DNA sequence: TTGTAAGCGTTATCAT
DNA sequence: ATGATAACGCTTACAA
């Protein structure tokens, strides 16, 4: 094959191995301009005969011509890349969001640059220059965890790069966001338990610093008031760590059990917490859901496969990701259109109750 | 701030917003050459006075100068990007490998371009041109699943782009690979059960088309022969789908239970399969591990959080990822050094037995 | 020690 | 309908 012969040159050869538009021009007999017009389906080239177009495309395929994106970006001032920042790729929540982002971006002209900051501020900072050097046109950040605070995203907004924060409402007005309606989700969860006849319900609240915790708690308090359900402070505990984890859930449940106040159901901050809580219950000889119902939040992939399959509040992370992309595209459109008059976009997705086998009638 | 003022221009402004080396030259009073030498710490610039260097770096920081990577790549013929291809980002196995890849790549000069082919050949094909256009210098592919066959990676090898396949040995000699020692892993699993006193062991084998299945089975057969353990064909079943899943495990276990042949332990193809099997056992009223021990393979994150926590064979996906990167770096080094005489690299990681609560003495 | 100028591959503008 | 030419921002001989 042609390209293979050319790669015999060693050293810096890697990129040179590809054929250039001028070489393609020479080989095909057309000029670089014509080729460019054809390859990009430019409006300016609409009067080029179909025969010519056909011929050029054939030559391109035959010689393996792939236009150099760097030259293109340099000329056009468009990088076609967008940063997707996640606190931790191996976290199932992030993974699901990523899936949605990817699906949505796939149809667009943008390529995602995945930045996994692994819960480290230092890593985040080190990536910033890389992203600027690559001239990213936007940022989509999964900001559900503590580690990726929206303030950190200010640097992008300062440089007029549109930012979409996923999973947490931003305090900065210039930062767009999508998140689940935490309050509504919490209501769904507690009302599910309430309808099953549970009256003595325990709560494992999320870390204080996570804004979602507060919103979810608000939903609980309001629902409780409406149906006159008393909230016993002996049945309320809080995750200690900054991040949620199965271990945290385990410990929280141990505290509740040691407390001695009886309860027939638990509402956990999220699924990981619920997993830990169920393990603690099982270990204490209590069967779920027969002796204690458990409900989680998030509906991560593992929830459905857990033993027992977990009843939880789904928030379609995939949807969050897709909306994140659409927000970016919209923001970018607005930026191009009128410049300054861009309003921040905030959207919420509706939570859904996924009833599985970890909850039962009293 | 300077950069902000400049961005008032609308339209194509996004990339223009950044300052160029010439503007920095004008502002600082030094020439582009000097600046380039300083910013890149070029050997040629070793005699530039510290004072000048200092001054240039200060100006750069003050004006927010980030060298344009496109211009740089165009000039230097080095893209600094490498494709990381995964069958499915939301799969926990992939996620863990990705973590390792990312950690290893972070210290290198390369930026990963994540390609999630979502188990679709069509998506894969569509990405190929994007990757060539961006002039990737290498490919790291998680090839554990059926969906990403090593043959698909040939197109890169054909273009002299080093490829490292993770999770599956490649048949093509030009494709480097790292995988777990499946045979040794299977031995670990069965000998663990054997030592716990199990003699009637059931097996849920992996899909036929997955090469790992065969390797694991080989380990089983050899071990059985050594200790004269009879393998009862009534206790051997196989996943039907092309991919492994919790559902597949559930069905396989139902088949085994319906078969009526008694057994005290099951070895599942992988963790997801084990999850499904445990659910089936639980549903049938059998307690794990009291009435039936279960062992998985992979040690995905959820295994430790499962109920009961799953005994399984760990294969440090993170390690696989890191090795994948080191193989790429090595391959690239070799390519630069001597050109043709590059030997394919194949490495294996040792599996480890993670004993948790899903297995017990008979 | 620092500056000048050419060229990387593409595309937009202007000619033909 | 197609072609010549300049410019995008950077690096690197080579010149001063």
pLDDT tens for A204-230 read 999 887 788 999 999 999 999 999 999
Radius of gyration of chain B (CA): 27
CA distance linking residue B150 with residue B155, whole number of Å: 10
Chain A CB contacts of B60 under 8 Å are none
Chain A CB contacts of B268 under 8 Å are none
Mean pLDDT of all residues in A309-338: 90
Please report, to the nearest 10 degrees, the dihedral formed by the alpha carbons of residues A121, A126, A128, A129 taken in order. Answer: 160
* Greater model confidence, A338 or B307: B307
Maximum pairwise Cα distance, chain A: 87
Contact call for residues A84 and B116 (beta carbons, < 8 A)? no
The nucleotide minimizing the C1' distance to residue B24's CA is: D9
Q: Which of B173, B140, B148 minimizes the C-alpha distance to B87?
A: B148
Q: What's the CATH code, domain B182-315?
A: 3.40.50.2300
Chain B CB contacts of A69 under 8 Å are 70, 133-135
Instruction: Give the torsion sign (CA, B243, B247, B248, B249).
Output: positive
Residue spans per domain, chain A: 7-67, 79-180+317-349, 182-315
The nucleotide minimizing the C1' distance to residue B44's CA is: D12
Whether the CB of A73 is less than 7 Å away from nucleic strand D comes out as: no
pLDDT tens for B2-19 read 233 233 333 344 444 689
pLDDT at A175 over 50: yes
Strand A163-166 relative to strand A312-314: parallel, antiparallel, unpaired?
A: unpaired
Q: Phi-psi category of A297—alpha, beta or left, where left has phi over 0 and alpha has psi -120 to 50?
A: beta
pLDDT (0 to 100) of residue B138: 95
CA distance linking residue A33 with residue B245, whole number of Å: 52
Structure tokens, B163: 């490829």
Name which CATH class applies to B79-180+317-349: alpha beta
pLDDT (0 to 100) of residue A146: 60
Question: Which of A3, A7, A10, A68 best probes binding to B when mutated, by most B CB atoms within 10 angstroms?
Answer: A68
Instruction: Give the torsion sign (CA, B167, B171, B172, B174).
Output: positive
Confidence band for A144, pLDDT divided at 50, 70 and 90: confident
User: Quick one: angle between helices A21-28 and A50-63, nearest 10?
Assistant: 120
CA distance linking residue A133 with residue B66, whole number of Å: 5
pLDDT (0 to 100) of residue A150: 72
Confidence band for A9, pLDDT divided at 50, 70 and 90: very low
Cβ-nearest to A70 among B74, B106, B116: B74
Distance from CA of A18 to the nearest CA of B (A): 9
> How far does the CA of A38 sit from the C1' of C5, in Å?
33
The region of weakest confidence among A276-280, A339-343, B196-200, B265-269 is A339-343
pLDDT (0 to 100) of residue A11: 36
Residues B7-67, CATH architecture? Orthogonal Bundle (1.10)
Distances (CA, A) of A246 to A158, A252, A312, B305, B313: 38, 10, 15, 7, 21
Contact call for residues A218 and A181 (beta carbons, < 8 A)? no
pLDDT (0 to 100) of residue B193: 98
**pTM of this prediction?**
0.86
With vertex at residue A135, the alpha carbon angle to CA A133 and CA A141, rounded to the nearest 5 degrees, is 105
pLDDT at A118 over 60: yes
Residue whose entry in the numeric block shows the structure tokens 């659409």 = A326
Mean pLDDT of all residues in A127-154: 87
Q: Which of B93, B25, B87 minimizes the C-alpha distance to B60?
A: B25
pLDDT (0 to 100) of residue B144: 76
pLDDT tens for B42-86 read 888 888 888 889 999 999 999 999 999 999 999 998 999 999 999
Distance from CA of B227 to the nearest CA of A (A): 34
Cis preceding linkage at B163, omega within 30: no
Side-chain-side CA neighbours of residue A47 (13 Å) = 1
B7-67 and B79-180+317-349 have identical folds: no
DSSP string, B160-218: T--EEEESS--SSTTSEEEEE-HHHHHHHHHHHHHHTT--SEEEEEPPTT-HHHHHHHH
Residue stretches of chain B with pLDDT short of 50: 1-16, 338-340
Hey, are the CB atoms on B77 and A16 less than 8 Å from each other? Answer: yes
Contact call for residues B93 and B298 (beta carbons, < 8 A)? yes
């Amino acid at each position: 094959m042609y390209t293979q012969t050319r790669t015999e040159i060693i050293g810096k050869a890697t990129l040179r191995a590809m054929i250039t538009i001028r070489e393609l021009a020479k080989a095909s007999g057309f000029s670089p301009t014509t080729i460019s017009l054809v390859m990009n389906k430019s409006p300016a080239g609409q009067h080029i005969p179909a025969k010519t177009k056909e011929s050029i495309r054939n030559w391109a395929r035959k010689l393996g011509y792939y236009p150099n994106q760097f030259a293109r970006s340099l000329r056009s001032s468009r990088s076609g890349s967008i940063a997707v920042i996640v606190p931790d790729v191996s976290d199932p929540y992030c993974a699901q969001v990523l899936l949605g982002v990817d699906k949505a971006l796939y149809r667009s002209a943008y390529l995602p640059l995945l930045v996994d900051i692994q819960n480290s501020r230092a890593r985040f900072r080190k990536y910033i220059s890389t992203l600027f050097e690559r001239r990213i046109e936007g940022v989509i950040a999964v900001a559900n965890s503590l580690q990726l605070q929206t303030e950190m995203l200010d640097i992008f907004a300062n440089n007029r790069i549109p930012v979409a924060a996923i999973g947490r409402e931003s305090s900065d007005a210039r930062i767009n966001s999508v998140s689940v309606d935490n309050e509504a989700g919490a209501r769904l969860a507690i009302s599910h338990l309430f309808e099953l006849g549970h009256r003595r319900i325990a709560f494992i609240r999320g870390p204080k610093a996570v804004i979602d915790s507060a919103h979810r708690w608000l939903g609980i308090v309001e629902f409780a008031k409406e149906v006159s359900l008393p909230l016993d402070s002996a049945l309320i505990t809080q995750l200690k760590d900054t991040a949620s984890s199965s271990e945290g859930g385990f410990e929280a449940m141990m505290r509740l059990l040691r407390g001695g106040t009886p309860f027939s159901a638990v509402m956990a901050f999220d699924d990981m917490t619920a997993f830990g809580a169920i393990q603690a219950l099982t270990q204490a000889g209590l069967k779920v859901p027969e002796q204690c119902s458990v409900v989680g939040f998030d509906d991560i992939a593992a929830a459905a496969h857990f033993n027992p399959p977990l009843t939880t509040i789904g928030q379609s992370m995939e949807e969050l990701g897709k909306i994140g992309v659409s927000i970016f595209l919209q923001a970018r459109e607005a930026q191009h259109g009128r410049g300054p008059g861009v309003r921040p976009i905030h959207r919420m997705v509706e939570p859904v109750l996924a009833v599985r086998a970890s909850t039962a009638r009293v």
